[in-house]
Amino acid sequence: MADLSIEEANKIRLSMGLAPLPVPGAAAPSGPAFKPAQAGDDSDEEAASTIESRQAAGFDNWKKLQDEAAAKKKREDRLVAIKKEREKAARFAKLEGQGLADAAEDEDDMAWLKSSKKRQKKIAKAEQMQKELEERERQAREAMQYTEADLAGVRVGHEVDQFEDGEDQVLVLKDTAVDAEEDDELEAVSLKERERLQEKLDSKKRKRAYDPNDDGQKSILAQYDEEIEGKKRNAFTLDGQGRTVEQVQAEATGAAQPKRVAISLDILQEDTPVNDYMDISEVKMKKPKKKKSKSSKRRRIEDDEDMVAVPDEPTEEMEVDESETKLVPKKAKKNLFDESFVDDDDLQAQLAAQRRQALKKRKMRPEDLARQLREEATSAPQTPGEVVDTTEIAEEDAGALIIDETTEFVHNLGANAGDEAEEARRRQRRKSSQIPKDVDSPAVDVDDEGDIDMAQSYAEVAEAEDRERSASRAKSAEITGTGLDDEKLVSGGIGATLALLKQRGLVANTEGPDKNSLWRSREKFLADKLRAEEEVERERREDRERQRNSARWAAMSARDREENNRQANAKSEKDVARKLADIYNKEYKPTFQLTHTDEHGRQLNEKEAFKLLSHQFHGKGSGNTKTKKHLDKIEQEKRKIAENSLDTRAGGLSNAQDQQAKKNKFAGVRLQ
Amino acid sequence: MIIVTVNDRLGTKAQIPCMASDPVKVFKAMVAAKIGRPVHEIMLKRQGERPFHDQLSLADYGVSHGVQIDLELNTGD
């Protein structure tokens, strides 16, 4: 199945009518079969000129290549196999040489013993040889080594003290020029690097020529010495024994060693601070002596004297005159009082005289004055209860006039400042009338506000009126609890109602008077017109009556009558129309009011109406927030109106009053 | 003469000697003869490419010695 052999292929091809495949090795066919085969000449001299021949040749070449490769591979395989075989064989090859058993010849023991020495010698020799070999090797190795001695006389390009102790330093030959004649110099790489780095950093620093800290021992322009003369190099030379040549030289010359000065270290201990306090032993304490002052002595003496004096007096005088002693303290007191008052007699005399003159001028006796004062004190409170009280007081204590803080305060409260004159008048009148009447009349008047007793005299009437007015005023001027004016009551009339509504914000302030007058004029006009029309109607009816009764009417035929009527009607119509037109032109002043109403039923002002129209025209209203705000505002208005109409709060401010208070321009409330 | 391998990848593999200038029709016939299927059931193609046309020759398709061509048996109607 895998391979179709050429014969079979050819068989298939021939059955199909195709040219058979060229068998490899055979000559390439020279074109289609029907061409006559020409010997030699026609066959191309080139190896393969047609595709088939070329292909055949190619096939041959390929085959050749493959064969060669295969052969090569085979050869190699064979070689490898041979080698393997050989090694294998070699593994099992017999070892050459004598085996232990083979080498041993049959010897007897004596011979063996004799040969033992020889053997030993041999062994020794072998050992020696071994040793010598080793020796030789060692020597050779050593000879190769490079020891310290080799370094004798070699320079090292650093300071001795630059090397740290305890470390192995690897020194390298310094780089020199090829033609340098100097000896080799060693240097440590790390130290060299450090030096170079230091130089670099120093060169980067800007070094001044003048160093203030340095002494003036350097020559002038010392900074250029390095450039001129070359860098100074420190070097020391090694000798083979591990020391420097310089050191040896120094020792040899016996250079002066620095003197050793003995310094006592006691100096350091001298700096202890001195104690600020004295020693306890040094302190001397002295006991202070007690000194007696003179003053204390003196006082004692004085007291003694007093004590002696005082008890003496009473013992002396009491026996003699008791009354005198009692008077003495009293006199002393009175003396004090007298001193303060009866100081300036002249002044007092003058004051008394002045007082007398003033009293005389007044033409009133002191008793009257006292009564007047008393009545003033009691006249201030006008309510009946208090009047009763004061009258009681007046009856009880006719003689005394009580003036104290309360009465003064009450007097000063005085309801109306402007009514001083009236009050005075009233006082005069009351004085003239008797006291019991005083008690009755206020009670009567207060009870019957409207009715005045006709039996009273004119003066009394006037008095009563005054009192009434004052009472009403007092009532009106009553101090409200909140400090604002009370709301007007509906019972106060239309005006009060309107004011109340305005205050509560339920009625907006409109231009009332103008509108009212206009409306009235229009109504009047209409009424006049109606009246005129009625007049005209009446006249016409009367005319018709007269006509009917007149003679001419009877003479006229029915048609004539109709004609006449028609004409008359027409004429009257014309007249009426003309008159109406005249009246209209003269008197009719139309006012028109454009009101816009929105969906909530509110009246819109100009701006709002325009907004509404605009929204309708453009078909687009406001956005969400704006409409929400608008609706909220409307709701708030409605709520406010509703609340206002129902708001009654007994104590404190109602909602409306609160708003009113807020609308005031000034802060605070007005107290009476 | 070249030897072309025809592989079914399902077990049918054959090596057919032919000429590079042979038309594909002849080649198909030889394959059919070898395999034992009628010619119309055989489709020769390269992987991912269109099937070979009968009119063209193997050389046109660049089929030379040792090339393997995919064989599809009975995949038509």
Q: Cα(A468)–Cα(A442) distance, rounded to whole angstroms?
A: 9
Which range among A279-293, A441-455, A630-644 shows the weakest confidence by mean pLDDT?
A441-455
The closest CB to that of A16, out of B12, B17, B26, belongs to B26
Confidence of residue A528 (pLDDT cuts 50, 70, 90): confident
Query: What pLDDT is attached to residue A544?
Result: 83
Q: Which range has the worst mean pLDDT, A55-64, A152-161, A252-261, A583-592?
A: A252-261
Q: Label residue A124 by pLDDT band (50, 70, 90).
A: very high
pLDDT of residue A600: 84
Query: Cβ contact (<8 Å) for A55 and B19?
Result: yes
Q: Cα distance from A67 to chain B (closest Cα, Å)? A: 16
Between A and B, how many CB-CB pairs are < 8 A? 56
Whether residue A4 and residue B16 make contact (CB cut-off 8 A), yes or no, is yes
Q: How far apart are CA A659 and CA A647, in angstroms?
A: 12
Question: In chain A, pLDDT over 90 holds for what percent of residues?
Answer: 14
A121 confidence band (pLDDT: 50, 70, 90): very high
Q: What is residue A325's predicted lDDT score, i.e. its pLDDT?
A: 46
When pLDDT is cut at 50, 70 and 90, the band that residue A476 belongs to is low
For residue A233, the model assigns a pLDDT of 75
Least confident of A101-110, A164-173, A280-289, B39-48: A101-110
Taking CA–CA distances from A7, the nearest residue in chain B reads B17
Average pLDDT over residues A49-70: 86
Residue A77's pLDDT band, with cuts at 50, 70 and 90, is very high
Asked whether the predicted pLDDT for residue A434 surpasses 60, the reply is no
Cβ B15–A18 below 8 Å, yes or no? Answer: no
Give me the pLDDT at residue A372, please.
77
Indicate yes or no: CB of A12 within 8 angstroms of CB of B29.
Answer: yes
- CB-CB neighbors (< 8 A) of B19 in chain A: 19, 21-22, 52, 55
Mean pLDDT computed over every residue of chain A: 75
Which is higher by pLDDT, A300 or A625?
A625
User: Per-residue pLDDT for A1 more than 70?
Assistant: no
* Least Cα separation, residue B22 to chain A (angstroms): 9
CB atoms within 10 A of CB A82: 10
Task: For A357-404, give the DSSP string.
Answer: HHHHHHT--HHHHHHHHHHHHHHS--SHHHHHHHHHHHHHTSS-----
Q: Which of A360-364, A423-427, A495-499, A560-564 is least confident? A: A423-427
- List the single residue in A4, A22, A59 with the smallest CB-CB distance to B14: A4
In chain A, residues with a C-beta closer than 8 Å to the C-beta of B29 are 12, 16
Note whether A4 contacts B20, CB cutoff 8 Å.
no
In the chain, the amino acid numbered A296 is S
Rounded to 10 deg, the angle between the A294-320 and A322-341 helix axes is 110
Lowest mean pLDDT among A196-205, A379-388, A554-563, B51-60: A379-388
Q: What is the DSSP string of A264-313?
A: -THHHHTTPPPPSSPPTTT----PPPP---HHHHHHHHHHHHHHHHHHHH
Q: In this predicted structure, what is the pLDDT of residue A587?
A: 77
Contacts of A59 in chain B (CB under 8 A): 1-2, 65
- For residue A322, pLDDT beyond 50: no
CA A49-B31-A3 angle, to 5 degrees, is 80
Asked if A1 and B33 come within 8 Å (Cβ–Cβ), the reply is no
Contacts of A2 in chain B (CB under 8 A): 13-15
Residue of B nearest to A26 (CA): B1
Report the C-alpha gap between A54 and A43 in whole angstroms. 14
| Predicted pLDDT at A56 | 79
Pick from B58, B48, B51, B71: nearest CA to B23: B58
Model-level pTM greater than 0.80?
A: no
Higher pLDDT, A104 or A266: A266
What pLDDT does residue B77 have? Answer: 72
Chain A contact set for B26 (CB, 8 A) = 13, 16, 18
Amino acid A386: pLDDT:
46
Which pLDDT does position A453 carry in this prediction? Answer: 52
- Average pLDDT on A476-497 reads 73
Summarize the confidence of residues B49-72 as an average pLDDT: 93
Q: What is the mean pLDDT of residues A15-43?
A: 60
Report which of residues A173 and A315 the model is more confident about. Answer: A173
- The answer to which of A191-205, A303-317, A581-595 has the lowest mean pLDDT is A303-317
Give the pLDDT of residue A419: 58
Return the pLDDT at A608.
92
Supply the DSSP symbol for A258: P
Which residues of chain A are within 8 Å of residue B12 when distances are taken between CB atoms? 1
pLDDT of residue A609: 93
Residue from the list A1, A5, A12 with its beta carbon closest to the beta carbon of B30: A12
Q: What mean pLDDT is predicted for residues B73-77?
A: 83
Beta bridge partners of B17: B3
Nearest-neighbour CA in chain B from A74: distance (Å): 23
Sheet containing B13-18: give its strands across.
B13-18, B2-7, B68-73, B42-45
Q: Give the position of tokens 């020759």.
A: B57
What CATH code would you report for B2-73? 3.10.20.90
| Torsion from C-alpha of A616, A617, A622, A627, nearest 10 degrees | -20
Which residues in chain A have their CB less than 8 angstroms from residue B3's CB? 3
Query: Is residue A309 very low, low, confident or very high in pLDDT (cuts 50, 70, 90)?
Result: very low
Alpha-carbon gap: B52 to the closest alpha carbon of chain A (Å): 20
- Nearest residue of A to residue B64, measured between CA atoms: A55
**What residue in A sits closest to B35 (Cα-Cα)?**
A1
- Binary contact (A59, B65; C-beta < 8 A): yes
The pLDDT value recorded for residue A618 is 95
Distance, CA of A554 to CA of A548 (rounded, Å): 8
Share of chain A above pLDDT 70, in %: 69
For chain B, how many helices (H) and strands (E)?
1, 4
CA of B77 vs chain A CAs: smallest distance (Å): 26
**Contact list, B18 vs chain A (CB under 8 Å):** 9, 21
- pLDDT over 70 at A55, yes or no: yes
Q: Could B17 and A12 be called an inter-chain contact, meaning their C-beta atoms sit closer than 8 Å?
A: no
Stretch among A59-68, A122-131, A480-489, A547-556 having the lowest mean pLDDT: A480-489
**CB-based contacts of A634-642 (< 8 A; 24+ apart in sequence):** A634/A600, A634/A602, A637/A602, A640/A505, A641/A505, A641/A506
Confidence bin at A431 (pLDDT 50/70/90): low
* pLDDT beyond 60 at A139: yes
Smallest Cβ–Cβ distance between B17 and the set A4, A18, A52 belongs to A4
Contacts of A3 in chain B (CB under 8 A): 3, 14-15
Query: Which chain A residue has the Cα nearest residue B33?
Result: A12
In this complex, the residue of A2, A3, A24 whose CB is nearest that of residue B1 is A24
Using an 8 Å CB-CB cutoff, list residues of chain A that contact chain B: 1-6, 9, 12-13, 16, 18-19, 21-22, 24, 51-52, 55-56, 58-59, 62
Measured between alpha carbons, how far is A376 from A384 in angstroms, rounded to an integer?
16
pLDDT (average), residues A329-339:
49
Residue B43: predicted pLDDT: 93
**Three-class SS state of A351:** helix
How far apart CA A359 and CA A344 sit, in angstroms, is 23
Residue B8 to residues A86, A163, B43, Cα–Cα distance (Å): 48, 85, 10
Interface test with A, best of B3, B13, B27, B30 (most A CBs within 10 A): B30
pLDDT at A310: 47
Q: What does the DSSP assignment read for A309-332? A: HHHHHHHHHHHH-HHHHHHHHHHH
Shortest alpha-carbon distance between residue B31 and chain A (Å): 9
The tokens for A236 are: 């020391």
More confident residue, B50 or A108: B50
- In this prediction, residue A323 has a pLDDT band, given cuts at 50, 70 and 90, of very low
Name the range with the highest mean pLDDT among A165-169, A520-524, B60-64: B60-64
The rounded distance, in Å, linking the Cα atoms of A77 and A80 is: 5
Cβ proximity of A629 and A643 under 8 Å: no
Of B15, B17, B65, the CB nearest to A21: B17
